[in-house]
A and B are shown apart, each in its own frame.
Chain A
């Protein structure tokens, strides 16, 4: 099974900050990497697929990069609505696995 490790597990930041979350796969997954945002009591929402493809309707302050084993999600200027938990997920092979999540909190 592929292990997905996110860092940090939690992060405190302020509105307007630039934030980067990293995700590392235990083996190469090419660009088969997705990012989701989840707010309390809600279902996850897909932000980025295939490592860097921004989904329709997602603000351009979100961006993704990486390939192979190392990936990043960057939020260029945090907005109040961005405080949530973020998950990476590999779509390379079964069983599909997620990172443990990064909780982004207001400083």
Chain B
């Protein structure tokens, strides 16, 4: 059974940092592109970043470029999102998601972890 479990969310002050993790099981992690998608409270879905199987390619939405870094550790079956210089509008549930054969079609999602940026 495919499972994705996010962790690391919480309350952080504006300008602070947080590192999200997503531990996966039930599939060969190193074979798939992975992504982070977020959802602000009561709002729609927003793609944040994705990373190639070997980590050699990474892409970000403009609003997080230079502040967020996506990474992975294939030996640990884990995906990460390092978030720096956090702003109030980064407040959201952050989901990790696994691609299908198409890089940005997501058939598997974690349960999400809530990040709240507030003073």
User: Which A residues form the contact surface with B (CB < 8 A)?
Assistant: 32, 34, 36, 38, 43-46, 49-50, 55, 87, 89, 91, 94-101
Partner of A44, one of B45, B61, B100: B45
Do the beta carbons of A43 and B109 come within 8 Å of each other? yes
Contacts of B61 in A (CB 8 A): 95
Contacts of A89 in B (CB 8 A): 45, 104
User: Which B residues form the contact surface with A (CB < 8 A)?
Assistant: 44-47, 50, 59, 61-62, 95, 100, 102-107, 109-112
Partner of A43, one of B50, B59, B62, B110: B110
Contacts of A95 in B (CB 8 A): 47, 59, 61-62
Most central of A44, A55, A87 by chain B CB within 10 Å: A44
Contacts of A44 in B (CB 8 A): 45, 95, 106, 109
Do the beta carbons of A98 and B44 come within 8 Å of each other? yes
Contacts of B102 in A (CB 8 A): 32, 49-50, 91
Do the beta carbons of A46 and B105 come within 8 Å of each other? yes
Given contacts A34-B106, A91-B105, A95-B61, 5 further A-B contacts (CB under 8 A): A49-B107, A89-B45, A95-B59, A98-B45, A101-B45
Residue pairs across A and B with Cβ atoms less than 8 A apart, 6 shown, are A44-B109, A55-B107, A91-B102, A91-B103, A94-B104, A100-B44
Who on chain A is nearest to B103 by CB? A91
The 5 closest A-B pairs by CB, nearest first: A43-B109, A96-B47, A91-B104, A98-B45, A96-B104
Who on chain A is nearest to B6 by CB? A43
Do the beta carbons of A43 and B111 come within 8 Å of each other? yes
A101 and B47 in contact (CB under 8 A), knowing A43-B95, A43-B112? no
Distance (whole angstroms) from the CB of A81 to the closest CB of chain B: 18
Q: Complex Cα distance A14/B102, Å?
A: 35
Do the beta carbons of B44 and A87 come within 8 Å of each other? yes
Q: Complex Cα distance A94/B102, Å?
A: 13
Q: Complex Cα distance A95/B47, Å?
A: 7
